[in-house]
Each structure stands twice: as C-alpha cells, then as structure tokens.
Amino acid sequence: MIPFLQNILYNFFISLGVMLGGCIFGAIAATFNGDPPLKTMLDLSEKIKIWAVAVSLGGTFPSFKVFEVGVFNGDIRGLFKQVVFILSALSGAQMGYRLLYYLEGMGNK
C-alpha cells in the first residue's frame, strides 16, 4: 500500500484507539471509585479528544514544522498531506467519541 494511505490509516486508528482505550480504562477506575462508569467515559472522551489527535500525529512539533515549510518555502504537497493526516486523526477521535456517546445511550436525544 502507498505510504501516504498507510499513514492516513495509522492516524485514524491510533486516534480511535487512544479515545476508546483511555475512556475504557477511565471507566474501570471510575468503577473502583464508585462513580458511574458510562458517564465518566463520556466526560473523559470530551477531555482527551485533542490529545488523541496529538498522539496519532506523533506530537505537535513535527506538524508545525511541515506547516512552516509548506507556507514559507512553498511546499504545498507536504502541507496538503499534513492537512489530510490531521483530518484523518480528527475523524478517528470523533468516531471514538460517537461510539462512546451511543454506548452511553444518549444517541436517541
């Protein structure tokens, strides 16, 4: 598979995995503390969404470097790739949030 498409898939699923894994383990901790696990999962998913994106991109500094090179040196192709990677990571985080949202049973509202 083309490395560009591989990176898109990696970013999507890493972001999704951070969301689901972090919230599930947070729900386990909430159970031990006597808090409602499903509500805790939804609260955590709102808090860690941006971190899931940052983790899937490998931190924020490489992304800023690509933006700098793209804007100031005219590397539009690299800039486009980085935007696609960010959108892929955001999509994975949003899918994780939606899965947890529907798991909690609030999807009918």
Full pLDDT tens readout for the chain, 109 residues: 688 899 899 999 999 999 999 999 999 999 999 999 888 888 999 899 999 988 888 866 666 676 677 677 777 787 788 889 899 999 999 999 999 888 877 644 5
3-state helix vs strand vs coil in the chain, percent to 5: 85, 0, 15
Owner of token pair 């709102």 = 46
Taking Cα atoms as reference points, which of 109, 105, 17, 100 lies closest to residue 56? Answer: 17
**Angle value at C-alpha 90, between 88 and 94, nearest 5 degrees:** 120
pTM, 2 dp: 0.83
Query: Domain map of the chain by residue range?
Result: 3-104
Whole-angstrom Cα distance, residue 53 to residue 58? 9
